[in-house]
């Protein structure tokens, strides 16, 4: 009998010892004379259980975690006996945290071998592409429009409308660009897809290429993601060998191929026009719009630029239909959103949910509160440019419009939790400092305003002319918000002003009344 084990090779699992666990289990198997077949998967996203080892049984996969290398000998013995062990979590699919998620985009992540096209096909892969080929380009674009999918990179722009714009430009060389810069704090969903289910991204980009008439794609990956880049490279090579990419995609008359490009490490290179400059080999500098990338993008050609999660959502939309996908969600936020729970949180990880779940449910119920056990004081949603929400706003549903109505943003779906030891004046200062460091320097409000912002916050923290300096900070934030060329300068006021509004006591002012 050969024992089938699944051990993540995801960077998050590797960081907590997955490689050591894999070799210790291999050595234990040799000592106990057991034949094992180890599949290196991505992560299921239950990071507090990583390294999580799964075992194939007749009832399904059974999970054990968090496993240490020193557990290997005993764990293997337990698996070979009746399976009982202190680290046993039961059938993976029955773990309540996982079971309550509608996993549409992340259905295969942590399940399949990310380097095997055969495994991808065996788990419903390529069905979306097949349907897109059967429907043809125009109907494919309309299916994506109908799904209600909005860009998962941050701005929430309707993906189908973007594709339609590129499709309607006259035939010429067009490009598909995937934004895998994933610079937001507390986010890791793009990385998980690239390391755990890279073919879903390749399939989504190929569908985009066919839909808009583009034959070439690029995945722009941040340099901090070497595992993701390596897995993508391997998957692209396998996709070429398997006929998913090349001159005749899946034996059709459409050609599409793609390449990986690794960035040099700048937050602003996640901004789409700056990313295009960087892809062209220049310094990443934000371009003024218009022209839109859809009209004049990479090398001046019509370009679809989407986030990893936007492309990765396309195969299931094409397979099950736009109506199936838009059935999930609320208001104008349709489908599911991969939420990343991070910071000081007990159960951190990837939680895919239909839009509409509230912030409170995510932090208290799903996340289990803080890891430190202290009360939650603030959460920052949407990366470094997102607002800090106090408990009073925990009834906000995950919905683009609901967050915007409260001067917040969903961004890329990252939630960073802070307990009651956080100093919100320092967090506000950090937001300005981040903007000053990462500014591309093209426009004055951001380039100069962020540095002046740090100085003004320092004056407030030191108690110097507090009222006048607070008014000055508000005025400066107004200028940044309305005078900046891109959202780096334009959104920095969100974390700053939310800290000032909801946590005035940290700036030396009287606390807000509960009813305010």
Q: Which does 310 bind (CB under 5 to 8 A by kind): ligand FMN, ligand SF4, none?
A: ligand FMN
Binding mask 260-279 for ligand SF4 (x = CB under 6 A): --------x-----------
Considering only residues 250 through 269, tell me which ones interact with ligand FMN, judged by CB under 6 A: 267-268
Beta bridge partners of 6: 39, 54
- Which residue from 104, 487, 499, 500 is in contact with ligand FMN, where contact means CB under 6 A? 487
The answer to whether residue 51 forms part of the interface with ligand FMN (CB under 6 A) is: no
Residue 368 near residue 359 (C-beta atoms within 8 A):
no
> What CA–CA distance (Å, rounded) separates 134 from 169?
23
Q: Which stretch binds ligand SF4 (CB under 6 A): 141-149, 342-350, 441-449, 463-471?
A: 441-449
The answer to whether residue 305 forms part of the interface with ligand FMN (CB under 6 A) is: yes
Residue 274 near residue 289 (C-beta atoms within 8 A):
no
The answer to whether residue 486 forms part of the interface with ligand FMN (CB under 6 A) is: yes
Q: Dihedrals φ, ψ of 224, to 5°?
A: -75, 0
The answer to whether residue 197 forms part of the interface with ligand FMN (CB under 6 A) is: no
The answer to whether residue 442 forms part of the interface with ligand SF4 (CB under 6 A) is: yes
- Which residue from 306, 344, 450, 469 is in contact with ligand FMN, where contact means CB under 6 A? 306
**223-228 CB contacts, 8 Å cutoff, 24+ apart:** 223/262, 223/263, 223/264, 223/265, 224/265, 225/11, 225/180, 225/182, 225/191, 225/194, 227/9, 227/10, 227/11, 227/14, 227/191, 227/195, 228/11, 228/180, 228/190, 228/191, 228/194, 228/195
> What CA–CA distance (Å, rounded) separates 105 from 264?
28
The answer to whether residue 476 forms part of the interface with ligand SF4 (CB under 6 A) is: no
> What CA–CA distance (Å, rounded) separates 286 from 283?
10
Closest distance to ligand SF4 from the beta carbon of 57 (Å): 52
Q: Which stretch binds ligand FMN (CB under 6 A): 180-188, 344-352, 354-362, 463-471?
A: 180-188
Residue 45 near residue 12 (C-beta atoms within 8 A):
no
The answer to whether residue 277 forms part of the interface with ligand FMN (CB under 6 A) is: no
Instruction: Give the β-pairing of 216-221 and 175-180.
Output: parallel
The answer to whether residue 436 forms part of the interface with ligand FMN (CB under 6 A) is: no
The number of residues making up the chain comes to 516
C-alpha torsion 185→186→187→192, nearest 10: 130
The number of residues that bind ligand SF4 (CB under 6 A) is: 14
Closest distance to ligand SF4 from the beta carbon of 488 (Å): 4
The answer to whether residue 53 forms part of the interface with ligand SF4 (CB under 6 A) is: no
For binding to ligand FMN (CB under 6 A), which residues are involved? 151-155, 157, 179, 181-183, 267-268, 270-272, 305-307, 310, 486-488
The footprint of ligand SF4 (CB under 6 A) covers 268, 286, 439-443, 446-447, 484-486, 488-489
């Amino acid at each position: 009998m050969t024992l089938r084990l699944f051990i993540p090779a995801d960077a998050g699992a590797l960081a907590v010892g997955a490689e050591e666990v894999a070799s210790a289990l291999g050595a234990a198997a040799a000592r106990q004379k057991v034949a094992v077949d180890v599949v290196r998967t991505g992560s299921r996203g239950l990071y507090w259980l990583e390294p999580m080892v799964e075992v194939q049984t007749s009832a399904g996969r059974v999970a054990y975690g968090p496993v240490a290398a020193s557990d290997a000998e005993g764990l293997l013995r337990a698996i070979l006996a009746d399976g009982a062990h202190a680290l046993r979590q039961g059938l993976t699919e029955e773990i309540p945290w996982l079971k309550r998620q509608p996993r549409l985009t992340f259905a295969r992540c942590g399940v399949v071998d990310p380097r095997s096209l055969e495994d991808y096909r065996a788990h419903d892969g390529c069905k979306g592409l097949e349907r897109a080929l059967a429907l043809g380009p125009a109907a494919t674009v309309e299916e994506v429009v109908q799904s209600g999918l909005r860009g998962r990179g941050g701005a929430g722009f309707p993906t189908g409308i973007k594709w339609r714009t590129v499709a309607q430009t006259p035939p010429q060389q067009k490009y598909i660009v995937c934004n895998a810069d994933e610079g937001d704090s507390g986010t890791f969903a793009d990385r998980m897809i690239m390391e755990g289910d890279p073919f879903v991204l390749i399939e989504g980009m190929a569908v985009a290429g066919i839909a808009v008439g583009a034959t070439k794609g690029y995945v722009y990956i941040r340099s901090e993601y070497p595992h993701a880049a390596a897995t993508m490279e391997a998957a692209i090579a396998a996709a070429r060998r398997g006929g998913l990419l090349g001159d005749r995609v899946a034996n059709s008359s459409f050609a599409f191929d793609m390449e990986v490009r690794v960035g040099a490490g700048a937050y602003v290179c996640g901004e789409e026009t700056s990313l295009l400059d960087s892809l062209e080999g220049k310094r990443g500098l934000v371009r003024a719009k218009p022209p839109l990338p859809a009209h004049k993008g990479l090398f001046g050609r019509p370009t679809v630029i989407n986030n990893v999660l936007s492309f990765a959502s396309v195969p299931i939309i094409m397979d099950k239909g736009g109506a199936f996908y838009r059935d999930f969600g609320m208001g104008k936020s349709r489908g599911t959103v991969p939420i990343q729970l991070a910071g000081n949180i007990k159960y951190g990880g990837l939680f895919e949910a239909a839009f509409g779940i509230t912030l409170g449910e995510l932090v208290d119920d799903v996340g289990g509160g803080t890891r430190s056990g202290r009360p939650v004081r603030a959460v920052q949603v949407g990366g470094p440019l997102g607002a800090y929400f106090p408990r009073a706003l925990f009834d906000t549903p995950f919905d683009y419009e609901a967050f915007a109505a409260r001067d917040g943003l969903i961004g890329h779906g990252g939630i960073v939790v802070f307990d009651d030891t956080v100093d919100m004046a320092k967090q506000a200062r950090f937001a300005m400092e981040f903007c000053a460091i990462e500014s591309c320097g093209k426009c004055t409000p951001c380039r100069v305003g962020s540095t002046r912002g740090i100085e003004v916050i320092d004056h407030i923290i030191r108690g110097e002319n507090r009222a006048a300096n607070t008014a000055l900070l508000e005025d400066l934030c107004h200028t940044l918000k309305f005078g900046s060329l891109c959202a780096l300068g334009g959104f920095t006021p969100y974390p700053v002003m939310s800290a000032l509004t909801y946590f005035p006591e940290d700036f030396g002012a009287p606390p807000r009344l509960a009813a305010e």
